Structure 1
């Protein structure tokens, strides 16, 4: 169904492979549109509990296809802006999925590729992975990816790397907070499988609520409004059938239904 993507399903885990290895999975209009459509479809698929984002070939994603970027810059102002909005929309779709998302990163994750990694909830990288916000060397800026990269590494680090476009080895990217864990390249798939198995132990509705909670409280002072919102969230959630099942299963020393059903949600 897709020209630039391949979706592999293993139980409740969907791996969304960017499949333009000949250009290191660089973005063009087609890839952006298909990533957005695939994320939306997987969000609505009740059989999918979590999404792994990956890239075929040597690289995760080398960022924007320069021919596409040049053509967009030469289009009319209205068409240029519409094109940019599709990119920001796709990144937002990925970042705001209710289901857990995990970036499996090998090789280059440059520009938009680094943005995809930052937009996912979890990023696991092979030791050879390399990250950069390289846009200024092309006379542009990392505007579309900036909310997610700055959220991951902070304003102070962005002040350096947005301006210098230096390349970040995976270990350095982990120190900055972009990457959660670095493993040997040969162990990347095994580690991703271990983390997806851990994610499938959580209640699907609880995980969606946890993602919403993070967005609600991040970078806010702990004032009366935040405290009240937090109280309302837990009070509401623990009355749900999923919470009642989870608590009952723990007390009975048995797996909850979403685990005993092979990871599928209720």
Structure 2
């Protein structure tokens, strides 16, 4: 149980250092994939940070930050159209709260980042990573699309680079991500990089951060206005039975859609 929030978590680890909250995605047996419980628990922590933190540090495992949707959950659950829409809404709203919350959100990224993991990264104000980190969007391989990710990613990289990541589906390096403005800084020792940034961010007052983030959101409300379109696009691809069959086959056999039985 987290001694600060008083809540017991299954998919995340939480610790506080004064007004800095460290939220670690922790599903080591599932490559830090996103399931409904993870979204729920992250949202609970982020809500707590609205009042009690001026910096939120989002982390993953040393070799895997986050690898996107939990296909096992999608395949095994009898998911109705309404259920998928609800999950997409919850995930989008989580990223929106990370992007617009009254704190500075910092992604400390190591290892592999795929699909929805890129959404977590792109939602953050500051993105720091180690040099061996790789980023990818693999959704189109299954007939899906990064519908909820794209508004956040486009805000960082622009349409052209977001489109390239989407259609190519292949990993890009930390240095490429830095050039494309998805990442703000990268070093071999990302822990030291994070430490230096936090030393500076500690000086910022909570009230100043909150006012600034509110003003920033007023200047650019793209994430809010894109919400309905993103959720509807997500619903469309996840209600396609052919796409769901590809996901189920991958879960069952480990084979990608283009591989023969």
What residue is the counterpart of 1:19 in the other structure? 26
5 Å matches for 1:1-266?
Answer: 1-45=8-52, 48-71=53-76, 75-184=79-188, 187-218=189-220
- Distance of 2:205 and 2:142 partners within structure 1: 44
Cα pair 1:21 1:57 within 8 Å, conserved: no
Query: C-alpha distance in 1, partners of 2:76/2:216?
Result: 38
CA drift at 1:219: 9.1
RMSD (CA atoms): 1.7
Q: What is the TM-score when the length of structure 1 is the normalising length?
A: 0.76
- Secondary structure of the corresponding residue to residue 103 of structure 1: strand
Question: Secondary structure of 1:60's partner?
Answer: strand
Determine which structure has more spread, i.e. the larger CA radius of gyration: 1
The answer to whether the 8 A contact 1:53-1:101 is kept is yes
CA distance in structure 2 between the partners assigned to 1:123 and 1:80 by the alignment = 29
Residues 61 and 110 in structure 2, CA contact (< 8 A), matched pair in contact too:
no
Q: How far 1:79 moved relative to its partner?
A: 1.9
Task: Please give the alpha-carbon distance, in whole angstroms, between the structure 2 residues aligned to 1:182 and 1:174.
Answer: 7
Q: Is the 8 A contact 1:61 1:109 kept in 2?
A: yes
